[in-house]
Structure 1
């Protein structure tokens, strides 16, 4: 959390966790997850956080009650989320729609929103206080699929933190559920977007016929010479303005790349190149970049129809760019950006079906993160627009960066810093010595020193 120092202490008083069940009877059935849901890489729980200011128009309304009631009503429509995962034949995951419900925690904290820093950005060091890990709740099978904690703040604002079993939904699916929750909290009788299950759309074909290489599932050759002690990692939250992106774009050759490369392509390629230089691997070592691409909205002749509106399952896969370290370091910036751009352009419905085929064919292998850098773009994540009656959140989105994989992952998020300047924040984690070299390389390309998101320091004496 930008601006939140380790010295900031506050007390959270939590009531015991309770199960919130659907507000009306729901079907009892067993539903198979898709083979994109059932990848090893998404068998985990993903935390998100939304922080809201006090709203005078809502004085007298309790956010705990409003959101608890909305959860119960939303689970009538999204009833599989109130069930429990089971492993069926061959270890395949299915959801047993038991209607048992999701975990919900009511809490109060003696801290004001403004003391958490500005702007608010992950990683949030106080996450364990705002989203308590109920013992036994983090299992993948036979455990609640969602965990909510609503924490009232001393200023009249509140924090909604939640955790979702990733096999049930991807980021956009989670936000779709959140939008339904917000609509119901504001008094709607039903969600505007009706949930669609249809997990059979992304099942492996019979027989499985992968049509792409999907290098993220290949074991990297040799040892990972980019790994040093993970006990000595440096974290920075970098800040890029539109002027920075334009300056990087001006470096591109051939000229047509300047117009065709997106902002994501430019920044992702730049970060990948500079990170590789900083880590100084062997010149012949294979380096990979995984760009997370969602196929929602993609409709091409190759692979048939797209993902229907309302689908909340996993529909994002990795587009993989590959290069030797020597080529990445020696070639101009446009080389890395072109690789990123071409990798993304491969992703369509045929590509994601090919992923499903490969996953089943190889027995659900894990993704290899050896000499790999993963980037996700959440700049337009609609979680930042979820209004439960108190207005839009000060921050709404991921609560952490990559979890256990923080040092190989980054994401892009839109932010206005303490100077009032708009730009893109990118959390980066590297071994301390490599971070210094990374900053030097980025500075050469930007033709200015690398800067972090500017934060407004808050007085500690008020706590």
Structure 2
């Protein structure tokens, strides 16, 4: 698959309505080095006759801004906490990156998996390697194809979002774009609750600690163990009986 992609515009899309202005702490699990990567989607759409590309692009941008209202942490920026105990998200409505592009590819060229992943890399031009450098944790690229189709490349930083959460965001994003639901009708509602994944939440209240007797040691002396064995041992016959 040999194709070119030309980026026409790249803008920050901010939430369409006011969102909380605060700092959210990520859990100890979310702050691990192995989850500080970007995972990506590439969605391919067939051509639609008579579609106005300019109007459709503006509609997608508008839907993204509305989706960022309930999912406002995706419009924030990730940084190290001052106490060095993990990461946090500064939520100031900074915005997600939206890229508008065109390509000489066609929908039929996406029928099978590429021989090399780099062949599709250009359909999400910005790959965020380190979210701690101030890059947005969410990147969306709409690329119009030669035959009138389109691709939507979406990159999420894993420390903010997992597979289920990203899927729910994409569903809400799509429903807002096609007018299936309004902003107040989205379901399920996104929740933060990262403190539930933090081990300090369990160790901070010793009174609620659970007892696990199955892990406690049982004192057994050598004498009692030997006596128990003698009682339970099998008695062997004193002589053998020949069976003819």
The two structures, once aligned, show a CA RMSD in angstroms of 2.3
Q: Which whole-Å CA distance do the structure 1 matches of 2:202 and 2:58 have between them?
A: 50
Aligned to 2:131: 140
Q: 1:75–1:11: structure 2 CA closer, same or farther, 3 Å change rule?
A: same
For residue 77 of structure 1, the aligned residue among 38, 45, 70 is 70
Alignment correspondent of 1:26: 19
User: Are the structure 2 counterparts of residues 145 and 206 from structure 1 closer, same or farther at C-alpha, using a change threshold of 3 Å?
Assistant: closer
Deviation at 1:91, TM superposition (A): 4.1
Indicate yes or no: 2:178 matched with 1:197.
no
Q: Secondary structure at the match of 1:201?
A: helix
In 1, the alpha carbon distance for the partners of 2:15 and 2:6 equals: 26
- Per the alignment, do residues 78 and 122 of structure 1 end up closer, same or farther by CA in structure 2, a change over 3 Å counting? farther
**CA deviations over 1:353-402 (Å, ceiling 9, x no partner):** xxxxxxxxxxxxxxxxxxxxxxxxxxxxxxxxxxxxxxxxxxxxxxxxxx
Q: CA deviation at 1:120?
A: 4.2
After superposing on structure 2, the runs of 4+ consecutive aligned residues of structure 1 that deviate more than 6 Å are none
Displacement of 1:117: 4.6
Give the number of the structure whose alpha-carbon radius of gyration is greater: 2
Which of these residues, 145, 153, 159, is aligned with residue 151 of structure 2?
A: 159
Alpha-carbon distance in structure 2 between the residues aligned to 1:199 and 1:117: 37
Residue pairs, 1:88-103, within 5 angstroms: 88=81, 89-103=83-97
Segments of structure 2 that go 5 or more residues without pairing to the other structure are 205-209, 211-244
What's the TM-score once normalised by structure 2's chain length?
0.74
- Within 5 Å, give how 1:313-324 maps onto structure 2: none
The alpha-carbon distance between structure 1 residues 122 and 45, as it changes in their structure 2 partners (threshold 3 A), is farther
Partners of 2:116 and 2:45 in 1: how far apart?
18
Matches for 1:37-436 after TM superposition, within 5 Å: 37-56=30-49, 59-60=51-52, 62-88=55-81, 89-114=83-108, 116-120=109-113, 124-133=117-126, 137-141=128-132, 142-187=134-179, 188-190=181-183, 191-205=186-200
Asked whether the 8 Å contact 1:83–1:101 carries over to 2, the reply is yes
Structure 1 residue 80: Cα displacement: 1.0
